[in-house]
Amino acid sequence: AQSVAQPEDQVNVAEGNPLTVKCTYSVSGNPYLFWYVQYPNRGLQFLLKYITGDNLVKGSYGFEAEFNKSQTSFHLKKPSALVSDSALYFCAVRSGTYKYIFGTGTRLKVLA
Amino acid sequence: DSGVTQTPKHLITATGQRVTLRCSPRSGDLSVYWYQQSLDQGLQFLIQYYNGEERAKGNILERFSAQQFPDLHSELNLSSLELGDSALYFCASSVGGQPYEQYFGPGTRLTVT
> Closest to B45 (Cβ–Cβ): which among A42, A46, A101?
A101
Nearest-Cα distance to chain A for B8, in Å, is: 14
pLDDT digits (tens, 9 = 90+) for B18-77: 999 999 999 999 999 999 999 877 899 999 999 999 999 998 999 999 999 999 999 999
In sequence order, what are the beta bridge partners of A97? none
Q: Do A100 and B33 touch (CB under 8 A)?
A: yes
Q: Do B99 and A94 touch (CB under 8 A)?
A: yes
Nearest-Cα distance to chain A for B80, in Å, is: 25
Nearest-Cα distance to chain A for B9, in Å, is: 11
Q: Do B48 and A46 touch (CB under 8 A)?
A: no
Query: Is A5 near chain B, with CB under 8 Å?
Result: no
Q: Which amino acid is at B57?
A: K
Cα(A45)–Cα(B103) distance, integer angstroms: 7
With residue A34 as reference, give the H or E element that holds it.
strand A32-38
pLDDT digits (tens, 9 = 90+) for B69-100: 999 999 999 999 999 999 999 999 998 767 78
Are B113 and B15 spatial neighbours (Cβ–Cβ below 8 Å)? Answer: yes
Mutant choice from B10, B24, B45 vs A, greatest count of A C-beta within 10 A: B45
Cα(B12)–Cα(B86) distance, integer angstroms: 9
Listed by number, the residues of chain A in 51-110 with a beta carbon closer than 8 Å to a beta carbon of chain B are 51, 90, 94, 97-105
> Closest to B42 (Cβ–Cβ): which among A43, A46, A104?
A104
- The DSSP output letter for B3 is S
pLDDT digits (tens, 9 = 90+) for A49-84: 999 888 999 999 999 999 999 999 999 999 999 999
* Torsion A58-B1-B102-B12 (CA) sign: positive
Give residue B97's pLDDT: 67
Are B65 and B46 spatial neighbours (Cβ–Cβ below 8 Å)? Answer: no
Query: Is B52 near chain A, with CB under 8 Å?
Result: no
- Beta strands B108-112 and B10-13 are parallel
Three-state secondary structure along B43-102? EEEEEEEECCEEEEECCCCCCEEEEECCCCCEEEEECCCCHHHCEEEEEEEECCCCCCCC
Nearest-Cα distance to chain A for B88, in Å, is: 10
Residue A108 has pLDDT above 90, yes or no: yes
- 3-state DSSP call for residue B16? coil
Query: What are the angstrom distances between the C-alpha of A44 and each of A47, A94, B61, B63?
Result: 9, 16, 23, 26
